[in-house]
C-alpha cells in the first residue's frame, strides 16, 4: 500500500516547466495531453512543447508583436508557476485569490476603463473594483516600462536592418528580395512604434493615479474618481 501511494505521488510530480521522468499516462502537466515522446501537443496540435528543454519546438506566429510575447519559443513567458499556455499562442494567468494577482492584460484593460469612467463609475464609491493595490500598480508599471524599452530596442534594430537592405538593394542581385525585406521591416518597425506609444500613454495615465485609503488599505485611484479629499493618503 505504501509503495503504491509513493508511486502515485511520484507519477504526479512535475518540475515547474512540466517535466516528469515517468510516462505512465497521457494526462500530463496542467491536465494537458502528453504523447509517448514526452511532448505536449498544445493548441489542438498547433505547437509541440518539450518540457525537458522548457521551450516550444516551433515559433509562435503571434510573436514578437502580439500576445505571443518577445520570445517566440518561450513557455508561459518564463513564468510557468503563475501561468498556463493551453493554446500554444498566449498565456493565461492562474488567478491567486489570496494574493490578488492579475496578468498585465487584465490590468491594462482596467486602467483604460478607469481612465474613461462612465456615469456609474463617477458616482460609485472607491473600492477594490475601481482602484489598484500597491502590488497591481507596481506590476503594471514594470510591465509598461519593459514593453516600451523592448519595443524601442527592437525598433532600432529594424531601422538598422532597413538601412542595410536599402544599401544592398542598390545591387541588381536579389534586388526584389531586398525590397520585400525592406517593406516587411518597415511594417514591423511601425507596429513596434505603435506598441511603444501605447505603452507610454498607459504609463503616463497610470502615474497620474493618486494614493487613497480604501477599506483601511493604501490603494491607487484615478483622480477622475476621487470625490472625497479625505480619502487621500498622506
Domain ranges within the chain, ordered by starting residue: 1-94, 104-231
- CA separation for the pair 203, 142 (Å, rounded): 9
The pLDDT confidence band at residue 234, using thresholds 50, 70 and 90, is low
pLDDT at 203: 94
* Number of Cβ atoms within 10 Å of the Cβ of 168: 15
Q: Could you tell me where the beta strands, DSSP code E, fall in 91-202?
A: 92-93, 132-133
Q: Convert the pLDDT of each residue in 168-211 to its tens digit.
A: 666 555 555 656 665 666 777 777 788 889 999 999 999 999 99
Q: What is the value of pTM for the model shown?
A: 0.54
Task: Report the chain's C-alpha Rg in angstroms.
Answer: 23
Q: Convert the pLDDT of each residue in 82-94 to its tens digit.
A: 778 888 876 666 5
pLDDT at 132: 92
Q: What angle do CA 210, 201, 190 make, to 5 degrees?
A: 165
| Mean per-residue pLDDT, 80-107 | 67
Cβ atoms of 222 and 208 closer than 8 Å: yes
Sorted by sequence, the CB contacts under 8 Å of residue 72 that are 6+ apart come out as 56, 59, 60, 63, 64
Per-residue pLDDT for 101 more than 90?
no
The pLDDT confidence band at residue 167, using thresholds 50, 70 and 90, is low
Q: What is the mean pLDDT of the chain?
A: 77
The pLDDT confidence band at residue 99, using thresholds 50, 70 and 90, is very low
pLDDT at 207: 93
pLDDT at 11: 52
Q: The cell 521522468 sits on which residue?
A: 21
Amino acid at each position: 500500500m505504501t509503495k503504491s501511494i509513493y508511486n502515485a505521488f511520484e507519477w504526479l510530480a512535475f518540475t515547474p516547466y512540466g517535466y516528469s521522468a515517468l510516462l505512465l499516462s497521457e494526462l500530463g502537466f496542467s491536465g494537458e495531453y502528453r504523447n509517448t515522446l514526452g511532448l505536449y501537443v498544445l493548441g489542438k496540435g498547433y505547437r509541440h512543447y518539450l518540457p525537458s528543454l522548457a521551450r516550444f519546438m516551433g515559433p509562435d506566429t503571434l510573436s514578437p508583436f502580439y500576445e505571443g510575447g518577445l520570445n517566440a519559443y518561450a513557455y508561459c513567458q518564463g513564468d510557468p508557476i503563475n501561468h498556463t499556455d493551453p493554446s500554444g499562442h498566449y498565456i493565461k494567468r492562474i488567478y491567486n485569490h489570496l494574493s490578488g494577482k492579475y496578468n498585465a492584460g487584465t490590468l491594462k484593460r482596467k486602467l483604460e476603463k478607469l481612465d474613461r469612467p462612465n456615469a456609474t463609475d463617477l458616482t460609485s464609491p472607491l473600492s477594490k473594483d475601481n482602484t489598484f493595490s500597491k502590488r497591481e500598480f507596481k506590476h503594471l508599471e514594470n510591465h509598461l516600462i519593459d514593453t516600451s524599452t523592448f519595443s524601442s530596442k527592437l525598433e532600432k534594430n529594424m531601422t538598422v536592418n532597413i538601412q542595410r537592405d536599402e544599401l544592398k538593394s542598390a545591387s541588381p542581385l536579389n534586388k526584389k528580395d531586398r525590397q520585400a525585406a525592406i517593406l516587411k521591416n518597415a511594417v514591423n518597425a511601425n507596429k513596434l512604434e505603435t506598441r511603444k506609444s501605447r505603452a507610454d500613454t498607459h504609463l503616463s495615465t497610470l502615474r497620474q493615479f493618486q494614493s487613497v485609503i480604501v477599506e483601511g488599505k493604501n490603494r491607487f485611484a484615478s483622480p477622475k474618481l476621487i470625490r472625497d479629499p479625505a480619502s487621500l493618503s498622506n
